[in-house]
Structure 1
């Protein structure tokens, strides 16, 4: 097929449509200030991270950064490629470790170690089967990093079972949080006095945001960026440009019923109000 002119790239589409709704926005003074602030973002990686936990939020962040300045660091115990393939680990208590060498995977490059990471405004902790390996090996490097940076962070986010690291670090004490509903029983055994919310798609308690499983990280990221920058304009246009309709009710995750999470309401509809934002 021949084109008379080059097709629009996603970035070109964003650049040519973002101003269409900006004039109708009413950002708060803090949101206006945030639009010119260069946020330093860190995303933690570990062997066995869940790819969409990282790439989903990153897709939205990358598009928004075309307008609002950001920097990104990928942080791990060592620099270089970090695989999403989970190391061998015990999946069923009393059974031998399961070898997942046959699992297809992707590697992302860690740009910094926990020791060399730059000052951060926003820190995101993904989940993944690798969380189990870290717990099994009593590896607390992520928890130590969270504690070393917590006071200086403006925001701390977790996706899926990434909330395990937040719980183990102690920062969730007396705070609301949620996690992947299929791993609810495993995750919620960690932490002291955590207010686990069984039916939440995502939670916010102060500067801590946590989401349900995997794809829910994109829903949380949309809500988070709407809070930071204002929803109408760039953030809404980004979601429609990537053609993702987010869940917009933080208090309802239908998968809490699917996975029979204690405290979830089984009488609620499994349908969610999901539609393009702004319509």
Structure 2
């Protein structure tokens, strides 16, 4: 028997990220197409609607213009999932200042079975009070604002996406597709989600969190002496890198250095170094046949067991498991 399509609505606004919008919607569209390929003649699984505060074209951060289907106040009653995209610059700040939209979002979330954010869209959910007492994540560059401005939110900085009750959040831009794949899996099973992931040439479930690629980018935003130190650390991972050595390079006491490093990087120096070593090990596991002990040595881990523990802490998998999943075939 044919099942009515689930209605997916995406809330957009000026200077929104185009990939935050198109990525997740493409996942749902491909899921419908794949299901119809598997069972010709069946109805599509999803239908998509784009909502905005206007019926005129919305200019996105990329310069593209997107024509909404309807005003957000006219969101279909049968909406199954409401998605909120992220934006560039002060785009989210401007939307948060729209009290009518924020109030509508809070009320809409009470009647929609599933509400989710992509990237910095989590800040809009938080403004509407939808993340209070819930686990949530956002783009790594917005983690501190989410944590400081909305202290009732249980922020998970390394998560690709979160699900707490009927509220979902995802991290940076492309992770909106990871979130959409997880929704397809929840709606129609893992087999369909895996087929969609293969069509999109992406992992059905990514291992690890956003910290795996954000550390060096984050370092570039720091004061020059800390940015230079971060660069030096990345080039000298095989060296002994204790706090005393790092503090000496910046002519600080270990205590002063640890405090100021934590204030800038939001992590201890040793955890930061561990993250960089894990980042350095991943491409070696993916693209070379070097044994794990050698990879550990080249990346500065004191032993292969130390690298294994770091991988489990950071990525939730051992180096061997990571290689089995991501090594070039």
Q: Structure 1 length as normaliser, TM-score?
A: 0.71
Q: Which runs of 5+ in 1 are unaligned?
A: 1-32, 86-103
The corresponding residue for 2:52 is 76
The corresponding residue for 1:22 is none
| Cα deviation, residue 251, structure 1 | 5.4
Q: Select 1:213's aligned residue among 168, 172, 191.
A: 172
| Cα deviation, residue 143, structure 1 | 1.9
The worse-fitting range, judged by mean Cα deviation, of 234-243 and 164-173 is 234-243
Matches within 5 A, 1:162-177: 162-177=121-136
Report how many residues are paired. Answer: 223
The worse-fitting range, judged by mean Cα deviation, of 160-169 and 63-72 is 63-72
1:209 is paired with a residue whose SS is strand
Q: Is 2:65 aligned against 1:107?
A: yes
Matches within 5 A, 1:1-279: 36-66=3-33, 67=35, 68-85=44-61, 105-119=63-77, 120-129=79-88, 130-135=91-96, 138-232=97-191, 234-249=192-207, 253-258=211-216, 259=218, 262=266, 265-266=271-272, 267-268=274-275, 269-270=278-279, 271=282, 273=322
| Cα deviation, residue 247, structure 1 | 4.8
Highest Rg: 1 or 2?
A: 2
CA distance in 1, matches of 2:45, 2:188: 11
CA distance in 2, matches of 1:116, 1:203: 28
CA RMSD of aligned residues (A): 2.6
Q: Structure 2 length as normaliser, TM-score?
A: 0.61
Q: Which runs of 5+ in 2 are unaligned?
A: 36-43, 220-264, 283-314, 316-321
CA distance in 1, matches of 2:207, 2:267: 18
Cα deviation digits, residues 92-142 of structure 1 (max 9, x gap): xxxxxxxxxxxx51111111112212121100001012113334xx22343
Kept after mapping to 1: 8 A contact 2:182/2:193: no
CA distance in 1, matches of 2:207, 2:113: 24
| Cα deviation, residue 60, structure 1 | 0.7
CA distance in 2, matches of 1:197, 1:147: 22
Kept after mapping to 2: 8 A contact 1:201/1:253: no
CA distance in 1, matches of 2:187, 2:93: 32
Kept after mapping to 2: 8 A contact 1:43/1:54: yes
Kept after mapping to 1: 8 A contact 2:11/2:51: yes
Give the structure with the larger helix fraction: 2
Kept after mapping to 2: 8 A contact 1:181/1:255: no
